[in-house]
Structure 1
Amino acid sequence: MNTGRQHNPAAQIVIGIGVIAVGLMFLLDNLGWLELDMSVQFWPVVLIVAGVLKLTVARSPNGTIIGGALLLFGVLTLLKGLGILEIGWNVLAPLAMIGGGLFVVFRSTRLARTGPASVSLAKDGSEKLVYATAILGAYKRRITSPQFGGGEITAIMGGCELDLREAGLSGDAVVNIFALMGGITIQVPADWSVQLEGAPILGGIEESTLRPKDASKRLVVRGYAIMGGVEISN
């Protein structure tokens, strides 16, 4: 098992600030300066940290929207729990549904407007880049492009499976991952080397690929597994 290293100082700062915020809330509650239900306040902090981290690895408009939505919902929920914002779940729940609907409409409209030209293709017409999102569902895709160029995979309370065993690679490619209470599985060819730059937060990242003698083909996997799991294998 290889959890890799995190090379993004800004992301480390975000994680540290999140831990400090939770600890400070616990301290103020224990001192009697605040009356908090940590079982309620803990989750908004998780969503805020998850939203910021998602924004740091986003490579597409969809990723930016998801990160912003997590951040906004976490902030609103935290302010509600602290009694600063007088808003009930009868408002927050519909807002979350509206946000989800707008995301689907935006994504569908963008694809309809740009069409196939929005997808980076190899000379044989196969996809070079992959942008996969699974929210409360499952997503499976097989890539056969001889010129795979990376992409972005997001799984929130869902699962994504990416099969690259029939794909080709020249040099390096980067795949940004984000698993929040979800799972991501990536299968790569035996002649690819994998470099992990991911950070598990109350989750796990497992890499069990073979080590090829020729490391000229390298897949770099960056991102986070927050209360979720990521598995990379052959």
Structure 2
Amino acid sequence: MRKLNGHHIVGILIILIGILALLNNFGLVNISLTYLLNLLWPLLLAIAGIGFIVNRRDLPSIVAGSLLIALGVIFFGRNAGFFEIDMQNFWQVFWPIIIILIGLSLLSKNQPNSTGQLAIMGAVEKNDADWELTSGKYVALMGGVELDISKAAFGEKEINLDLSAIMGGITVIVPEDVAITCQGTAVLGGIDLMGRGTGGIVGSATMQSGNLQSADKIIHFNCLCILGGIEFKR
């Protein structure tokens, strides 16, 4: 199944708005563009949430995707006038639900597996000399992860790492002799690869640093960032 990309969704919505603006200028329709933008932006959250669940299907993505879908539906319903929401009461309910979901995540994954680490309201640091780097997943959920690749012993020439920063941050230090590729999606967050990044409401990008043909060590990163940040630096 082809993955849903955030920039494709945003592009389709922009084209739709442009068509409606054109029809509006010719008097064929009578729609307020301000009202339309206010109505449609929550759909970006819901569609992005569906994309995370369909494309990745791991626990952090399901949790984050479900939250985005819920937020999108709630704000769309409020902006469309289907119901009224007291925002103060909404946030009082929203944050306890996040805490409950974090607890459920801990119950479903009490111990990190051998190929990855999970940081929940805490920190995971891989900066000791000669720590073994293998393909796997690293998740920062309201926490932080630091990976110092310059001190790692590679288990194989090409490594595949999935990085998820959900209301948290991940920092990756990469030595000059390691080539990397990065494919990432950011929602209300940012991914920075050596000063080149993507972010905003929904952003998606593919980036590369180093020569893949001549490098002896290669790492492929697949990144997901929601209300947080992932930074790569030499």
Q: So what's the TM-score if we normalise by structure 1? A: 0.65
Between the aligned residues of both structures, percent identity stands at 20
Deviation at 1:129, TM superposition (A): 1.3
Gap change, CA 1:15 and 1:52, over 3 Å in 2: farther
Q: Describe the superposition over 1:90-116 as per-residue Cα deviations: whole angstroms up to 9, x where unpaired.
A: 5532341232121122123334xxx4x
Gap change, CA 1:129 and 1:206, over 3 Å in 2: same
Aligned position for 2:202: none
Aligned position for 2:117: 130
Judge conservation of contact 1:55–1:67 (CA < 8 Å) in 2: yes
Query: Which of the residues 107, 125, 141 maps onto 1:141?
Result: 125
Gap change, CA 1:182 and 1:34, over 3 Å in 2: farther
Gap change, CA 1:173 and 1:107, over 3 Å in 2: same
Judge conservation of contact 2:60–2:164 (CA < 8 Å) in 1: no
User: Structure 1: any 5+ residue segments left out of the alignment?
Assistant: 1-7, 122-127
Query: Which of the residues 13, 19, 27 maps onto 1:21?
Result: 13
Deviating more after overlay: 145-154 vs 18-27? 18-27
Aligned position for 1:222: 222
- Which ranges of 4 or more aligned residues in structure 1 deviate by more than 6 Å? none
RMSD: 4.1
Q: Describe the superposition over 1:137-180 as per-residue Cα deviations: whole angstroms up to 9, x where unpaired.
A: x8552255324223144578x86543333222213322234568
Deviation at 1:217, TM superposition (A): 2.7
d(CA) in 2 for partners of 1:90, 1:74: 17
Q: So what's the TM-score if we normalise by structure 2? A: 0.65
How many residues get paired?
A: 211
Judge conservation of contact 1:54–1:178 (CA < 8 Å) in 2: no
d(CA) in 2 for partners of 1:177, 1:15: 20
Judge conservation of contact 2:4–2:55 (CA < 8 Å) in 1: no
Query: Which of the residues 157, 160, 168 maps onto 2:153?
Result: 168
1:17 alignment partner AA: I
User: Structure 2: any 5+ residue segments left out of the alignment?
Assistant: 196-208
Gap change, CA 1:182 and 1:39, over 3 Å in 2: farther
Q: Describe the superposition over 1:18-44 as per-residue Cα deviations: whole angstroms up to 9, x where unpaired.
A: 443355468668654358556754652
**1:11 is paired with a residue of what secondary structure?**
coil
Judge conservation of contact 2:212–2:218 (CA < 8 Å) in 1: no
Structure with more strand by fraction: 2
Deviation at 1:72, TM superposition (A): 1.7
Of structures 1 and 2, the one scoring higher in RCO (CA 8 A, sep 6+) is 1
